[in-house]
Structure 1
């Protein structure tokens, strides 16, 4: 089962009256509060903020359970004193006056020699009366901002101090680096807010110097590693920083929003604008691959097929992952043999089955869209009789290539008789049975060669064409059932399928590999031609196999496949995504995760050992006998 987010047993914020930051703070987040709050979960366990600074987000949220921390010991003393000795802080603040003499006298003092309350009052006084409320220290850790010369700064604001005290009192207040704080306190279900020192994007960026310790580029890399650990741990993390290329690189897998901001701490008013980025890193959702004997007993009725890449042996894995999500509609975007769409139908889902191959849409029309119509066997037998409407197309176009002359005549008769059936369901069942018969009567079930050099004497090759056809009709009839849904079979481009809210979208596209081809038309051109009656295609008469040109597909190259996945993931970004792909294909597993992560907050990869039913390039891949990992990529 997917682990559910750990919800707090208490309200996310307390009943503390409105509180606001005690200090004016370079890089404070007051102007971004709406954007930041929009990315917070509705409930969480504890709130953790290890780069506390002015604490605008904390004071606006007022969580009942919080761990706040900063590496600056003077700041930590201020907040601890406000939490535990409000009266003492107020009594010391009452002694300060807004004069240059008082300011420089206080600035020259060493706060570490003072009582905690007196040191806290000094910090507030200097912040309220220094130039632009800037906090900056020199290499020795001494406060070095000049006097601000403000006429009437509010040094003692008792209501604000009281509100801050009530917000801080229940919090755990720590002094230390972000790694130590997060490793010791972050737990699954916690909300972590990160506002580290900004990456340098202008000459004014070094104004955000909270302590004599600097935060370098390598620290940002370490922070990104910690963010990934929090993601895996199950924390919901929100991070703010400058819209710097490194931030976009470090947090590429997650959703990011860029917002315009004003830089209040700047000597040049014309330069007091900038761009911040807010990164939303939800907790990683835990998926467990639940193996079941069969998703539903009715799936066993699906007519067997040797279709390239068919997923009949992976249904328990696919359903094991899909069943962990709530959805009522399933979109099988590249339906192929149709077995996955049929599985979703058996589970009671409303199914949209799509494929660019006409033969695939015929199968889906007969067994997925069709909810109850069967083709009586006496009608099927009648289809085997000679037809005066036969155009003899197969007899004259493919003589001696794939089947005997007798079988070619029978195929043309079946084509003519099927076309005259009034019921679209009857036509779909009969045409699907004809396609299945052609595949079974063909050695290896493909049409990339002529003749019968792969004849291995198996029973399917010995049974007559007519008997195969009747058996196929019976198999199709047995697989028809009503799941109570308005299912649909579509023949068309996957890129043109419209997204449906709340649906799970399953993708099993052609796998691109430089070691083998994924040209379904080249392998199945004869039965694909049957499905569309060779309409709209031009047979390449110069070829030995009399094939027609393959359909254009972006999955015929590495770059094309990557771009196609990106387009599809973007198109269905609001749906649950479930993608089958193999370890010997490109893009690679890592690249697929990166592409999907650009559009989904959560991406998981479930590897499944699998051996394909046939292949022609095993000797080029270390004699692997077609043993590969079939990956299930899950985006949600």
Structure 2
């Protein structure tokens, strides 16, 4: 006993007791960084060789396997390691002894001797494999190793200390997980791999098979664990079904070596590690509050996707964080950035659309400059001949000849202005005037077939322009902060120390159209003065080529979100997205969870006002707008 006490005082890292085909020792460098920093219990229901367990040595664990022989061995090492060691010392590494021991029925032996038999056969058989015949008899041949380590006393005692801290169960993984897994637990799953193969059978260390339908059932249980609030890490082969089943989560492909093939060319493989974070319990509360009166001064807009009706809900979420600097990454109509400015935040607005950047230049960045009405009236007077670009290019499409001439005059005078904020106010007013003079406010059609007799359509363009100048002037205010308007790609925006980033990108849906340029090409052209754009002369509307955007496809949108979340991983993230858009909710959560410890989804009932051709009624129906919040 004194010798045992000495052993226990020696710091020896516990390691797997068995040679294990498909064991995870070689993957530990990739697996351990994914283990949560804190968790409740460690649960491993496909225990096998237990490489992860022995590497972590958790204080509170539940380990299980459906192989009773394997479970008997671990229980005996935990509770009767001295007896197991004594039995192992009796074995000799000879072919005669090996086959004599192999013929034994383990269930007829004393439990400690049965455990020793399992270890002996594993260490002396060919490649440490486990295979049984139809009668359930172990039938792997003798390995002919000169000096196998049959009894690793120090390793067994170290393993015993680790196993004593675990509850060791024999049973089906579904029953184990259903009964024991609780919120906050860490579940490590190393099931038999896809596809069904000799390697998969060996890996499980049992005669039972694990088919594709079993993997589907496993995926369902993993989703339950996710909903329950468990941390889950899964390993498997790099098989298409694995990618299909776990598409919403992070899947890393790892190059590994196989140790059971006689053919060296087939010993390389690809494993995957799937990290499934717990679904976060909702901590944020959605309690809309009245907004400052200043917010109502923002000129109303018919801009597609505008969040003017969701400002209270957005502020309800943002207000629960202590933030000073906020980035409105896809500013669109500019109303969210304006609302945040009214709430006393330092706002950085950005958009790839020049017209959006013009709005925020005039009313978010600008704190005190207005455009006097007499100066605005002077812009309506021709001071030098224009280039007649609008009159020549868009003749007969959207406006009368007289109105086209006035637009050209305003363009010429606005671009000659020296004050950047007065220029932004004037251009904003011109854009608003042109929009109000168009039925439906868009430029996807020509003529006036949608004229519904609205008063706005009866007003002259000059009257619309002057009224817009007055509206923008009333919206100008100083919140005592430095605010900025940026015009560029969100991926290229450089911001230091942004406390919160609000992201409202184009929504991708196979049923809808998120091409802003197609709807607003004319007024976007005004904001750019048609510089750097390619007008498609063959089109009836004379639109210009749309800007490239990753949000035009499902995969492109998912990749773009991943890059944005990574880029702004040090900021609180608030993302607006619709329930009828893709990526879907679970995928969005999984992408954000790669960079944020907490991810919550705040649903908001919302009715869209824009439809798309034959699908218009569908898109006017009530859906849910999601606010994905990562912090």
Could you tell me how far 1:143 is from its partner in structure 2? 2.3
* TM-aligned CA distance change 1:116 to 1:452, over 3 Å: closer
Bigger shift: residues 260-269 or 626-635: 626-635
Contact 1:580 1:630 in 2 (8 A): no
Query: Structure 1, residues 30-82: CA drift from partner, whole Å, max 9, x if none?
Result: 11111110111111111110111111111111000111001111111111122
Residue in 2 that maps onto 1:368: 364
Contact 1:351 1:488 in 2 (8 A): yes
Aligned ranges 1:238-257 → 2 under 5 Å: 238-257=233-252
Bigger shift: residues 109-118 or 160-169: 109-118
Q: 2:335 aligns with which of 312, 336, 339?
A: 339
Could you tell me how far 1:148 is from its partner in structure 2? 2.8
Rounded to whole Å, the distance in 2 between the matches of 1:404 and 1:258 is: 61
- Partner SS state of residue 526, structure 2: helix
Contact 1:338 1:353 in 2 (8 A): no
Q: Does 1:489 align with 2:486?
A: yes
Q: 2:30 aligns with which of 31, 35, 46?
A: 35
Q: Does 1:424 align with 2:420?
A: yes
Residue in 2 that maps onto 1:473: 470
Residue in 1 that maps onto 2:384: 389
Rounded to whole Å, the distance in 2 between the matches of 1:243 and 1:625 is: 39
Gapped regions of structure 2 (runs ≥ 5)? 1-9
Could you tell me how far 1:363 is from its partner in structure 2? 0.5
Rounded to whole Å, the distance in 2 between the matches of 1:105 and 1:452 is: 95
Q: 1:62 aligns with which of 36, 41, 57?
A: 57
- Partner SS state of residue 348, structure 2: strand
Residue in 2 that maps onto 1:552: 546
Q: 1:308 aligns with which of 304, 310, 329?
A: 304
Rounded to whole Å, the distance in 1 between the matches of 2:587 and 2:337 is: 27
Q: 2:607 aligns with which of 603, 611, 623?
A: 611
Q: Does 1:433 align with 2:429?
A: yes
Rounded to whole Å, the distance in 1 between the matches of 2:380 and 2:236 is: 76
Q: 2:553 aligns with which of 558, 561, 564?
A: 561
Aligned ranges 1:204-603 → 2 under 5 Å: 204-287=199-282, 290-294=286-290, 298-320=294-316, 332-346=328-342, 348=345, 350-356=347-353, 358-370=354-366, 372-375=367-370, 377=372, 380-381=375-376, 383=378, 386-389=381-384, 391=386, 393=388, 414-446=410-442, 448-450=445-447, 454=451, 456=453, 458=455, 461=458, 465-466=462-463, 469-470=466-467, 472-482=469-479, 484-485=481-482, 487-490=484-487, 492=488, 504=501, 506-509=503-506, 520-521=516-517, 523-535=519-531, 547-553=541-547, 560-562=552-554, 564-574=556-566, 575=568, 580=576, 582=578, 589=582, 601=594
Residue in 2 that maps onto 1:130: 125
Residue in 1 that maps onto 2:135: 140
* TM-aligned CA distance change 1:115 to 1:353, over 3 Å: same
- Partner SS state of residue 159, structure 1: helix
Rounded to whole Å, the distance in 2 between the matches of 1:413 and 1:451 is: 23
Could you tell me how far 1:635 is from its partner in structure 2? 8.3
Bigger shift: residues 421-430 or 152-161: 152-161
Residue in 2 that maps onto 1:6: none
Rounded to whole Å, the distance in 2 between the matches of 1:542 and 1:204 is: 61
Contact 2:371 2:469 in 1 (8 A): no
Rounded to whole Å, the distance in 2 between the matches of 1:153 and 1:297 is: 82
Contact 1:51 1:195 in 2 (8 A): yes
Contact 1:436 1:472 in 2 (8 A): no
Rounded to whole Å, the distance in 2 between the matches of 1:309 and 1:131 is: 66
Query: Structure 1, residues 15-35: CA drift from partner, whole Å, max 9, x if none?
Result: 974111111111111111111
Contact 1:441 1:465 in 2 (8 A): no
When the two structures are superposed, what TM-score results if normalisation uses the length of structure 1? 0.82
Aligned residues: 609
* TM-aligned CA distance change 1:263 to 1:349, over 3 Å: farther
Rounded to whole Å, the distance in 1 between the matches of 2:31 and 2:612 is: 54
Contact 2:328 2:347 in 1 (8 A): no
Rounded to whole Å, the distance in 1 between the matches of 2:377 and 2:561 is: 47
Residue in 2 that maps onto 1:180: 175
Could you tell me how far 1:152 is from its partner in structure 2? 3.0
* TM-aligned CA distance change 1:513 to 1:159, over 3 Å: closer
Bigger shift: residues 41-50 or 454-463: 454-463
Gapped regions of structure 1 (runs ≥ 5)? 1-14
Q: Does 1:44 align with 2:39?
A: yes
Query: Structure 1, residues 253-302: CA drift from partner, whole Å, max 9, x if none?
Result: 22222222222233344543322222222222345562413566653332
Rounded to whole Å, the distance in 2 between the matches of 1:271 and 1:534 is: 60
- Partner SS state of residue 34, structure 2: coil
* TM-aligned CA distance change 1:622 to 1:365, over 3 Å: closer
- Partner SS state of residue 237, structure 1: strand
Contact 1:609 1:629 in 2 (8 A): yes
* TM-aligned CA distance change 1:475 to 1:166, over 3 Å: same
Rounded to whole Å, the distance in 2 between the matches of 1:49 and 1:410 is: 75
* TM-aligned CA distance change 1:484 to 1:233, over 3 Å: same
Rounded to whole Å, the distance in 1 between the matches of 2:486 and 2:122 is: 69
Contact 2:373 2:466 in 1 (8 A): no
